């Protein structure tokens, strides 16, 4: 029996996003205005699954995720079904431990994992399919600058700025 991945589109202050869920939890939250391309990418990510659009069935979830995107400092206890290598899962857990309004560096995460080479950490972060909920936007370069972000540097800046404002109140 094939796994079923259901998805819906949502709209946030940072643009259109897709949220996809298995029967265990969220497997993807990705920004993309090109719905057809994103749906094709979702099917490619889960080639053995039946991928179904479920706007009505996931409307409440899409609204909740939009709220998390619009206020990334808000607590989020949505169930996740994170899929990656053991190393990626470890990096993603470390990302979830970074408090809202704070940042760390790629090198600092690498050091916590016992290596000086941040390239593996950078690749694990790039493979994160659950935008904002697994807060890869909280990782910056060691000089404090904002580097590339899978969903655009503008979104990364906006997310960090929103967390700073939220934490100031």
Task: Give the pLDDT confidence of 82-114 residue by residue, as tens digits.
Answer: 999 999 999 999 999 999 999 999 999 999 999
Helix (H, G, I), strand (E, B) or coil at 21: strand
Strands 139-140 and 50-53: what pairing?
A: unpaired
By annotation, the residues acting in catalysis are: 136
Portion of the chain with pLDDT greater than 70, in percent: 98
Residue 81 burial (10 A CB sphere; 0-12, 13-18, 19+): middle
Tokens 């899929």 — which residue? Answer: 83
* Domains assigned to the chain: 4-70 (3.30.160.70), 86-168 (1.10.10.10)
Distance of alpha carbon 7 from alpha carbon 27, whole angstroms: 10
Strands 50-53 and 4-12: what pairing?
A: parallel
């Amino acid at each position: 029996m094939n796994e079923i991945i259901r998805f819906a589109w949502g709209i946030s202050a940072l643009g259109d996003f897709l949220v996809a869920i298995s029967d265990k939890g969220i497997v993807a939250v990705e920004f993309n205005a090109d719905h057809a391309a994103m749906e094709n990418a979702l099917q490619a990510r889960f080639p053995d699954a039946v991928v179904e659009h479920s706007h009505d069935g996931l409307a409440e979830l899409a609204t909740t995720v939009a709220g998390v995107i619009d206020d990334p400092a808000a607590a989020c206890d949505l169930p996740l079904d994170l899929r990656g290598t053991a190393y990626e899962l470890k990096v993603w857990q470390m990302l979830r431990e970074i408090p809202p309004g704070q940042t760390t560096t790629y090198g600092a995460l690498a050091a916590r994992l016992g290596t000086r080479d941040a390239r593996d950490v950078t690749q694990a972060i790039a493979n994160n399919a659950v935008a904002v909920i697994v807060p890869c936007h909280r990782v910056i370069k060691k000089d404090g600058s904002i580097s590339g972000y899978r969903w655009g540097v503008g979104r990364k800046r906006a997310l960090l700025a929103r967390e700073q404002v939220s934490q100031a109140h």
